[in-house]
A and B are shown apart, each in its own frame.
Chain A
Amino acid sequence: MRTLLAALRAAFYGAPGNALRGGMVGRARAPGPANPGLIARFFGLLARQVVGQVRQQALPAPGPIAVPVAGPVAGPVAGPNPLTAAIVSTAIVAAAMRYPALRRMAMMLGLDPAAVAPTLTAALPGAAGQQPAGPGAAGPQVAGPGAAAPGGQQVAGPGAAAPGAQQAAGPGAAGPVGQQTAGPGGTGGGQNPAPTRTDAIVPGLYASVDPAVPPTGWTFTDTVMPRRADVVSIETQVVAPTRETGRMVRSYNLITGNLSLDEAFLQRIPGDKRWLNISPPMVPGRGTPLETYMTIRCMKLFESVAGASFFGRTRTVHISTIVNRRSMLQLGAARKQGRSLHEAARTCHSTTYATNAIVQSGGKIASVRYSLGQGSWLPASRAVSDPAELAKYGLVPTDEVPYYFDIDIDVEQA
């Protein structure tokens, strides 16, 4: 009898401990919408069709909302009925934020409540993020050389920032966190450079990432390490369709709820292949950066195996043991100029890099803290041997740069 019950339970809810394979109804003791079972998938699909039609009629088109700004800012949102959109969005957000079960159900249907919030914002007349940047305005389009690309494939160029915006010293400057950078320094280059990032949440992106369903041709091998001192780590080996490999490690603290970006070595996969053709794409016309996809995918796994909940939640993202050359030089330049290292950390490459997953998981950056951690300050010549490259950052070989340092990003609900 006990065996029969166990078999039925496995059929309905999946094998215990299996994070990826649910049963017909769903996954046993697994919070979050990551792996609905067959029956749930069927009803989810059905409901999604219905909701999709409703949304299509009620909400503005998503295109102008998650605007990938590489040049001029998009014009006013062209929605069919902003007022209706605002009312519907408000109702969805309010209800889903109030009731966790409703929130999970909405997410399962591809209606991320927090993802709807920007839709609501964007739909309102004169909404933030839709205004053109001017002097002193923190507009969304900081189009400048040295734009970030997945995996650090960045060509450094003279720094650029919008007037009045916080500007990282030297080349490869990023706009303020929460804004976009794109330009000839990115992989897109050319007269009409395609954007490499967007800091606007893309509705449905987070919900669309299913750890059990990879983009066509990609292979992910997840190693869930045994818990060590309340920390669960997942190492993911990725194999591209063209057989190049990469590796990423992310950790989740069960007590604090903090996410740690431990390691990511994806550079063996060519830069142009580190854009995934998934729907919805983070950057229309380009796709979603592999690093962003893998981090979100890992967050979904933590939701399955460790009971984590990230979407729209206040949390801290810890970037540990940073040895990224560009970030080192950016902070070294900041120190030389007497600027706050915390402020410099906010705009350095590593933080910019981490921002994608933060934004797409319904968060926004509240504050950024730099700490040397177990690292040390080294002569810049040990990081970069080319004096010309150092000079782009205003550094000489004897100047010091931080090495093996940490950044903590406090994230709040967007």
Chain B
Amino acid sequence: MSERVGRGKGVGMDVQRVVVVPGGARVTRVTDAGVVEVPLRVELRLDDLAEALARVLGATGTVADDNAPAPGAGTLVVGSVDVLDDLAGSGADMGWVVGLTLPRLRAVRVTSAFGLAAGVDSDVMHAWADEGGGEGGGGGGGGGDAIYGRTDVRLPRPAVVADDPLDAFGAYARITLPGVTDLPTLLATYLTATP
């Protein structure tokens, strides 16, 4: 990994509305007490994510159980892989989409393939949902909250940008901001980085 201050163009998104879309995954929890179905919206605390992300971006935040709205023009859509499939299939502007719960070993490639604004892998997302952030990313050896984004973005603070083949692909890489351990803050810092 290399530590550097980002340079080049920024994402510079002026987000006015954050819409988190759970998608069609079914979650079932099995314990000694039995089997319960848990809505993904609850399992991943998506309402909290929408609210926190909207707060740091100065936007409104909602969770849409139905179809995703068209991303772009101030609307940032946050969704899992099946949501990305649907959006890409409809020709949406994927530059206004953040991918959630991406498979750890393929996260940077999925982010790159869809041309997303940013991606969040499953380990980081679950760590944030389980622990409120701060200790995420351990599963894949990440160490701290991380996102996948473009490497040529000018970030306002020093960033650690992965350069190993697992976490760097094309114009994208795994990015961490030392000292920023909260996922919504990390996302907002990256998305609003000035050009």
Binding site for B on A (CB under 8 A): 17-21, 211-214, 216-217, 219-226, 228, 235, 237, 245-247, 249, 262-263, 265, 268, 320-321, 323, 374-376, 378, 382, 403-404
In the complex the two chains form, what is the Cα distance from A268 to B135 in whole Å? Answer: 12
Chain A residue with Cβ nearest B106: A321
Binding site for A on B (CB under 8 A): 23-32, 35, 37-38, 40, 43, 80-82, 85, 101, 103-106, 109, 122-123, 126, 130, 138-140, 164-166
| Minimum distance in angstroms from B123 CB to a CB of chain A | 7
Chain B residue with Cβ nearest A222: B28
The answer to whether A211 and B30 have CB atoms under 8 Å apart is yes
| Minimum distance in angstroms from B138 CB to a CB of chain A | 6
Interface of B is mostly: mixed
- Residues in A whose Cβ lies below 8 Å from that of B82: 225-226, 228
**New A-B contacts (15) at CB < 8 Å, excluding given A225-B82, A404-B165:** A219-B29, A219-B31, A221-B30, A221-B43, A222-B30, A223-B101, A224-B27, A226-B24, A245-B130, A247-B122, A249-B103, A265-B123, A268-B138, A320-B105, A323-B105
In the complex the two chains form, what is the Cα distance from A403 to B164 in whole Å? Answer: 10
The answer to whether A217 and B32 have CB atoms under 8 Å apart is yes
Partner of B165, one of A216, A237, A376: A376
| Minimum distance in angstroms from A246 CB to a CB of chain B | 7
- Residues in B whose Cβ lies below 8 Å from that of A224: 25-28
The answer to whether A212 and B126 have CB atoms under 8 Å apart is no
Partner of B32, one of A211, A214, A263, A320: A214
- Residues in B whose Cβ lies below 8 Å from that of A19: 28
- Residues in B whose Cβ lies below 8 Å from that of A225: 25, 80-82
The answer to whether B103 and A216 have CB atoms under 8 Å apart is no
The answer to whether A223 and B31 have CB atoms under 8 Å apart is no
| Minimum distance in angstroms from B89 CB to a CB of chain A | 11
| Minimum distance in angstroms from A38 CB to a CB of chain B | 14
Chain B residue with Cβ nearest A378: B165
- Residues in A whose Cβ lies below 8 Å from that of B81: 225, 228
Once A246-B139, A247-B123, A323-B166 are accepted as A-B contacts, the answer to whether A221 and B28 lie under 8 Å apart by CB is yes
Partner of A221, one of B27, B80, B105, B106: B27
The answer to whether A247 and B166 have CB atoms under 8 Å apart is no
In the complex the two chains form, what is the Cα distance from A41 to B35 in whole Å? Answer: 17
The answer to whether B26 and A223 have CB atoms under 8 Å apart is yes
| Minimum distance in angstroms from A341 CB to a CB of chain B | 18
The answer to whether B29 and A221 have CB atoms under 8 Å apart is yes
- Residues in A whose Cβ lies below 8 Å from that of B26: 17, 223-224
- Residues in A whose Cβ lies below 8 Å from that of B122: 235, 247, 249
Once A214-B31, A219-B31 are accepted as A-B contacts, the answer to whether A382 and B126 lie under 8 Å apart by CB is no
- Residues in A whose Cβ lies below 8 Å from that of B85: 228
Partner of A237, one of B31, B109, B126, B166: B126
Partner of B27, one of A213, A222, A263: A222
In the complex the two chains form, what is the Cα distance from A246 to B37 in whole Å? Answer: 20
- Residues in A whose Cβ lies below 8 Å from that of B105: 262-263, 320-321, 323, 404
The answer to whether B27 and A223 have CB atoms under 8 Å apart is yes
Chain B residue with Cβ nearest A322: B105
In the complex the two chains form, what is the Cα distance from A212 to B30 in whole Å? Answer: 6
| Minimum distance in angstroms from A400 CB to a CB of chain B | 13
- Residues in B whose Cβ lies below 8 Å from that of A235: 101, 122
In the complex the two chains form, what is the Cα distance from A342 to B40 in whole Å? Answer: 41
With most chain A CB atoms within 10 A of its CB, the pick from B23, B32, B80, B81 is B32
